[in-house]
């Protein structure tokens, strides 16, 4: 998947994190396990105050938009 590609997260769970169809842009692709880094359009905020701006995915976890 090319850098700059707009994507939607298709998987509900990746590496112990739940996803709900978030969208974002591919910012890096290392062509290995969980090697596609997506920057979210809207950062994800957690109850403990953690703000997640990016996450690593496999290609099968993503849908190109």
SS3 assignment, position 39 = strand
Per-residue pLDDT at 52? 98
- Taking only the tens place, the pLDDT of each residue in 39-63 is 999 999 999 999 999 999 999 999 9
Extents of the domains making up the chain: 6-64
**Residue 11: pLDDT over 90:** yes
Per-residue pLDDT at 38? 98
Q: What is the DSSP string of 1-27?
A: --TT-EEEE--SEETTEE--S-EEEEE
Rounded Cα–Cα distance for residues 17 and 22 (Å): 12
């Amino acid at each position: 998947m090319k850098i700059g590609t707009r994507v939607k997260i298709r998987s509900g769970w990746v590496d112990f994190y739940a996803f709900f169809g978030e969208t974002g842009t591919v910012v890096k692709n290392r062509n290995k396990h969980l090697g596609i880094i997506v920057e979210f359009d809207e950062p994800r905020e957690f109850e403990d105050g953690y703000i997640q701006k990016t996450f690593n995915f496999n290609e099968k976890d993503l849908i190109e938009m």
